[in-house]
Structure 1
Amino acid sequence: MALLTLLFRRLNIPLAPHKTVGPTTCLEYLGIELDTLAMEARLPENKLNRMLSLVASFLARKSCTKRELLSLLGHLNFACRVVTPGRTFISRLIEISKGVKSLNYHVTLSQESKQDLLMWHQLLSNWNGVSMFLEAETTLASDMQLFTDASGIGHGGYFRGHWFNERWQHGLTLDSDPALSIAFQELYPIVVASVLWDTTFSRSGSTRRQIPVPDSLQSNVQLNQALVTFQR
């Protein structure tokens, strides 16, 4: 760094001292923290705490102005750089922002939009820093041995020899409609499997259960074909 600084001075290239950091393995660049040891990109702690507080404040409200909602969307769009699954839970908020013209008009925060915000709170709490520098090739579900599905009642999945299932929690269901949105139903068990895997099966005293294949499913043709794939 000393040599580089000397070279810049000789070339009359100005440096901003408050932005000059290094050498280091963890650097904040354009608001994103890059860690070359963990090989991950994440939100800095101060930005993460600010976004969590902002999302929590919207969850406690029934309405907000369009200006406030657009400000929230700006923060969430920024977080999507490193919280990749979050983009799925932002479109509904964009749609309700189109319901009024003036920035000072109020927008009602529906139960559906609050579900998306609740999902964002979960993602910010658990997925910050797991947005790895993405590989060029897509990893198949069969290679990860991860298969999930969901319905209006609950969700479940299979991961490397283990089964898990769970009914929807009360806070994740719609009071007026027991069926969750398709995107939420299908993505939530993947988030559960990814975020909670360590506490689900790897730690003693886990509150979740390892579930053997039920007798009623042992004759399921598709299930048995999947199990054959897992054993290869």
Structure 2
Amino acid sequence: MLFGSWGVMEVSRRFVTLVLLCAGVIAAFGYGRLDAAAACGGAAIAAYLLPPRPKPPEGAFHHDRLPSVWMPDLLGFLLATTFLAMPFIVSALEEWPGVPWGLMLFMWPPGLVALAIFWFSARYQCFWVLPERSSITIGTLRGKTVLTYSEIVRVTTETRRPPGWLSPLLILFGGWRGLGIALLHGTRPNHSLVLERKDGEPVRLPLDAFPDAAKVVKALERAGVPTIREPANSGRRNEQRKPERSGDDAELA
């Protein structure tokens, strides 16, 4: 399953808001309909703010919302709206015959690339971690996953870098200013905490803008899960730690 119920809600929130923003921008700058633009803008704000958002359970750790959700969403709406709506604005002002396919082919690719920003913001909105006495529960776009500490082989860190072809592509479409700089800022390496399981695929916990990551690691160590503090590609020797269970495990309950 690609999305759980909250994942569908978060993806739909951003899709509907983007469509309404594009309609408002086209109405304002393409046809001079400020009344329609204001109506679309108000509907877009309502579509983004009013639907309920996933709420982590009490005691769960989650990402800082400002850098991981609010700012990426703002950047995504600015970039995607500009490039997706521009062909329709130009065709309205210049009385373009038919559908402006040429403008779409040129301007929609960077707009579609900007849509990837929404994937990350929706992912962080749905993400939370709740360490408990005998297990750790993880909330994601797909729903909840419960892992017992006994099925976790070890915990490592991982750094994933963007593909090498992405930066030249963004510069080609966005230039060195504006879109180029904005999107290149979003291609920084992603850092994750990897929970390797005995059976099944590893579970990755994104670490960027996650102020309570150290608390999660400490909870895993207290539960007796082997942890590797240094990333594998850091150039330094990895040290595996397997602390003994202590009497203050009750703090995890």
TM-score, with structure 1 as normaliser: 0.34
Which structure has more relative contact order (CA 8 Å, sep 6+)? It is 2
TM-score, with structure 2 as normaliser: 0.32
